[in-house]
A and B are shown apart, each in its own frame.
Chain A
Amino acid sequence: MRFRLRRRDGALRGLVRRPISERVTERPAQVAGVYLRGSLQLRHVDVGSCNGCEVEIASAFAPHYDAAQYGIRLVASPRHADGLLVTGVVTHNMEGPLRQTLAALAEPSVVVACGDCAVNGGIFSDAHAVVGTLSDYVTPDVTIVGCPPHPRDIVAALRSLGGR
Chain B
Amino acid sequence: MTTTLWSWTTSLLQVVIVGVGSLILIGFMAKVKARAEGRVGSPVTQPLRDVRKLLRKERLHAHHSSLVLPFAPMIITATAVVAVWISPLVGTHPVMVSGADIFVIVYLLLTGSVAAALAGLDAATAFGGMGSSRAMTIGALAEPALLVGVIALAIQSGSSNLAVIVASTLHNSDHAFGPVHLFALGALVIVVIAETGRIPVDNPATHLELTMVHEAMILEYAGPELALVTLGEAMRLGLLFSLVANLFFPWGVATSSSAAALALGVAALVAKLLVLALVVALIEVRSAKLRLFRLPELLAGAFALSVLAIVMGLVTR
The residues of A with any CB-CB pair to B shorter than 8 Å are 34-39, 41, 44, 62-63, 66, 68-69, 71, 73-77, 79-80, 82, 104, 106-108
Q: How many pairs of A and B residues are in contact by the CB < 8 Å rule?
A: 73
How far apart sit A66 and B35, CA to CA, in the bound complex (Å)? 11
For the complex of A and B, list the 4 residue pairs with the smallest distance between their C-beta atoms, beginning with the closest.
A106-B222, A79-B222, A39-B49, A69-B40
| Residues of chain B from 221 to 280 with CB closer than 8 A to chain A in the complex | 221-223, 226
Known: A41-B50, A79-B221. A106 touches B57 (CB 8 A): yes
Nearest CB on A from B57, distance (A): 5
Chain B residues with Cβ below 8 Å from A36 are 53
Please, which residue of chain A has its CB at the minimum distance from the CB of B34? A68
Q: Which residues of A contact B206 (CB under 8 A)?
A: 76
8 contacts between A and B (CB under 8 A): A35-B56, A35-B57, A41-B50, A69-B41, A76-B219, A80-B226, A106-B58, A106-B222
Q: Mark B184-217, 1 if CB is under 8 A from A, else 0.
A: 0000000000000000000000111100100100
* 1/0 contact string of B14-52 vs chain A (CB within 8 Å): 000000000000000000001001111111001001101
Chain B contact-residue range equals: 20 to 34
Given A76-B206, A106-B60, CB of A63 within 8 Å of CB of B43? no
List 15 additional A-B contacts (Cβ < 8 Å) besides A35-B53, A76-B212, A79-B222.
A36-B53, A38-B49, A39-B52, A39-B53, A66-B34, A66-B41, A68-B41, A69-B41, A77-B219, A79-B226, A80-B219, A80-B222, A106-B58, A106-B60, A108-B57
Which residues on the B side are within 8 Å of A35 (C-beta)? 53, 56-57
State the CA gap A130–B207 with chains docked (Å).
Answer: 27
Query: How far is A74 from B145 in the complex, measured between Cα atoms in Å?
Result: 35
CB of B284 within 8 A of chain A? no
Mostly helix, strand, loop or mixed at chain A's interface? loop
Pair B42/A82 contact, Cβ less than 8 Å: no
Instruction: Please give the distance in Å from B74's CB to the nearest CB on chain A.
Output: 18
Q: Which residue of A lies closest to B211 (CB)?
A: A76
Q: Is B143 close to A, CB under 8 A?
A: no
Complex interface bits, B148-174 against A, C-beta within 8 A gives 1, otherwise 0: 000000000000000000000000000
Q: Is the CB of A79 within 8 A of B53?
A: no
B161 → A minimal CB distance (Å): 40
Contacts of B221 on A, CB cut-off 8 Å? 79-80
Instruction: List A contacts of B40 (CB < 8 A).
Output: 66, 68-69
User: B residues within 8 A CB of A107?
Assistant: 57-58
Return the contact of A37 from the options B43, B49, B226 (Cβ within 8 A): B49
Please tell me if B220 contacts chain A, counting CB pairs below 8 Å. Answer: yes
- Chain A residue at minimum C-beta to C-beta distance from B57: A106
Contacts of A82 in B (CB 8 A): 53, 57
Please tell me if the beta carbons of B46 and A79 are within 8 angstroms of each other in the complex: no
Q: What is the chain B residue whose CB lies nearest that of A65? A: B39
Contact of B42 among A34, A44, A71 (CB under 8 A): A71
Contact check, B37 vs A76: say whether CB atoms are below 8 A apart: no
Residues of chain A contacted by B39 (CB below 8 angstroms): 62-63, 66, 68-69
> Is the beta-carbon distance between A71 and B46 smaller than 8 angstroms?
yes
Query: Which residue of B42, B208, B219 is within 8 Å of A79 (Cβ)?
Result: B219
Closest to B216 in A: A76
* Beta-carbon contacts under 8 Å, B57-76 to A: 57-60
